[in-house]
């Protein structure tokens, strides 16, 4: 049931005549005025995550709540866009990182993400520096992709750790079998229900190979590839910490 505050917001939005599409009167303006000082360090590439049973995206009282979010849906952790149960992606670049987490059940309300590192040794050094208890390191596969949404291609990362690492390995194997650039083919990224040894259910990623991409998509992906190689990409660290795909204290094990 809509609250008075929600209804008022909708009325104000309607009164402003806001549009989700680029108005025709703006199409010949071009330029990027107002963002001249925005650099690499001021932008993050979003992450595709899965809505789990305990995800903040499902809690109406949480700032991260997404209206309409349901278990198994894929979503963009920056724009908060829901993709549904599947989305088309083009893999552009793969890397492996080691993410430090603090168990949320350790008390004090200070659990969550503590940093990403390129080697296990660096991660353990940081743990020593932090000097905190209940810290854990999660080996995490990072798949930089182009994501097809609302008739356009966007940049995003698919992070895979724990049980999702097996999906990452399968995806890498499928890419290698094509004997072409990783971004020459598109794939369907879906969610599928699985269960752990205790019979608790959660959602994992699933990957299906599609076909070769059009030339314009290949060029766009190649441009992103070179930017990543030059260090021109910063990944969002705003994890959905209660989701089973990330937190080391999650219910998938």
What does the pLDDT look like over 200-230, one tens digit per residue? 899 999 999 999 999 999 999 999 999 888 8
What mean pLDDT is predicted for residues 2-9?
Answer: 48
3-state secondary structure of 175: helix
Closest CA to 163 of 190, 195, 132: 195
pTM for this entry = 0.77
Closest CA to 207 of 92, 93, 88: 88
d(CA 162, CA 245): 7
d(CA 212, CA 65): 36
Are the beta carbons of 146 and 155 closer than 8 angstroms? yes
Residue 236 has pLDDT above 90, yes or no: no
Q: What distance lies between CA 59 and its chain's CA centroid?
A: 19
Compare 227 and 239 and report the one with higher pLDDT: 227
Per residue in 160-198, pLDDT (tens digit) is 998 899 999 999 999 999 889 999 999 999 999 998 888
At residue 105 the predicted structure's pLDDT band, cuts being 50, 70 and 90, is low
The region of weakest confidence among 118-127, 159-168, 233-242 is 233-242
- Count of other CB atoms within 10 angstroms of residue 45: 18
């Amino acid at each position: 049931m809509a609250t008075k505050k929600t209804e008022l917001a909708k009325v104000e939005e309607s009164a402003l005549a806001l549009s989700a599409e680029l108005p025709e009167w703006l199409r010949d303006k071009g330029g990027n005025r107002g963002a001249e000082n925005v650099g690499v360090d001021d932008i993050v590439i979003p992450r595709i995550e899965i809505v789990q049973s305990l995800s903040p995206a499902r809690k109406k009282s949480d700032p991260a709540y997404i209206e309409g979010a349901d278990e198994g849906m894929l979503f963009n952790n920056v724009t908060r866009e829901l993709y549904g149960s599947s989305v088309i992606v083009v893999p552009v670049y793969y890397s492996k990182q080691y993410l430090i987490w603090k168990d949320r059940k350790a008390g004090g309300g200070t659990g969550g993400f503590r940093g990403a590192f390129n080697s296990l040794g660096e991660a353990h050094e940081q743990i020593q520096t932090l000097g905190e208890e209940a810290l854990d390191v999660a080996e995490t596969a990072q798949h930089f992709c182009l994501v097809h949404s609302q008739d356009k291609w966007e940049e995003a990362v698919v992070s895979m750790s724990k049980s999702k690492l097996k999906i990452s390995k399968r995806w890498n194997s499928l890419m290698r079998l094509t004997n072409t650039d990783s971004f020459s083919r598109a794939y369907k990224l879906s969610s599928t229900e699985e269960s752990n040894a205790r019979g608790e259910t959660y959602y994992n990623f699933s990957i299906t190979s599609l076909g070769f991409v059009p030339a314009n998509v290949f060029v766009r992906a190649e441009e992103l590839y070179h930017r990543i190689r030059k260090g021109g990409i910063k990944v969002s660290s705003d994890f959905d910490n209660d989701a089973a795909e990330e937190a080391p204290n999650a219910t998938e094990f």
